Chains A and B, each alone.
Chain A
Amino acid sequence: SAVISQKPSRDICQRGTSLTIQCQVDSQVTMMFWYRQQPGQSLTLIATANQGSEATYESGFVIDKFPISRPNLTFSTLTVSNMSPEDSSIYLCSVKETNKQNTEAFFGQGTRLTVV
């Protein structure tokens, strides 16, 4: 199974600033996703990170607020821009391995973000 490292694991940020979260996988993966888990809520998909092209965003999420990069098959970043307290959430990276017959998704430990 893929091992996913997310950095930072947690952060407290001032409103109006931006934070970039890194997701590093120990193997090449076909697909990488970013999810948000607001306090006491379930997980919501933000976007699919596409290697070498712009990310595909879900309804309610836009590139200006959540720019995503994916320069290669093992690494992606999510930036939370111009943060407000409403952005306080856990952000999770998820991957699907290349050449696997099933659709199991693996998750990082998440980044717990608090905006003050």
Chain B
Amino acid sequence: AQSVTQPDIHITVSEGASLELRCNYSYGATPYLFWYVQSPGQGLQLLLKYFSGDTLVQGIKGFEAEFKRSQSSFNLRKPSVHWSDAAEYFCAVVSNDYKLSFGAGTTVTVRA
């Protein structure tokens, strides 16, 4: 069965600094991978997704992620964080029947 691990529960970063959130997956076939963001009191918003092709994926809000099959990773990055990026971030992998398995999430705090 597929699974996702997000090793970092909480990350604090200064505004303007770079951000990297780690995601490792376990899946037998080629994975379909997603990053979602959940702002306080809000639903989930898709940041970006990877299905195939270029392993560096660009998303919304200046985020990007790189798929590395050799490391079973799909880490999310942003070069310069804004205060509005404070939120919870979830990595997810989808199975053949379109069910999503989510990681535990990483809470990002942005300090001024």
Contacts and interface: CB of A to CB of B under 8 A. Distances in A.
B70 interface: no
Interface string B49-60: 101000000000
A94 B90 CA distance: 15
B100 A104 contact: no
Contacts, number: 53
Interface stretch (A42-50, A67-75, A77-85): A42-50
Given A107-B43, A107-B44, A110-B43, A45 B49 contact: no
Contacts of B51: 102-103
A103 B32 contact: yes
Contacts of B43: 92, 107-110
A63 interface: no
B98 A41 contact: no
Contacts of B41: 112
A interface, by DSSP: helix, strand, loop or mixed? strand
A104 B49 contact: yes
Contacts of A94: 100
B102 interface: yes
Nearest to A56: B97
B90 A42 contact: yes
Interface string A3-38: 000000000000000000000000000010101000
Contacts of A108: 43
A106 B92 CA distance: 13
Most chain B CB within a 10 A radius of its CB, from A31, A42, A107: A42
Contacts of B100: 33, 35, 43, 45, 94, 105
Contacts of B104: 41-42
8 contacts: A42-B104, A42-B105, A48-B99, A102-B49, A103-B98, A107-B43, A110-B43, A112-B41
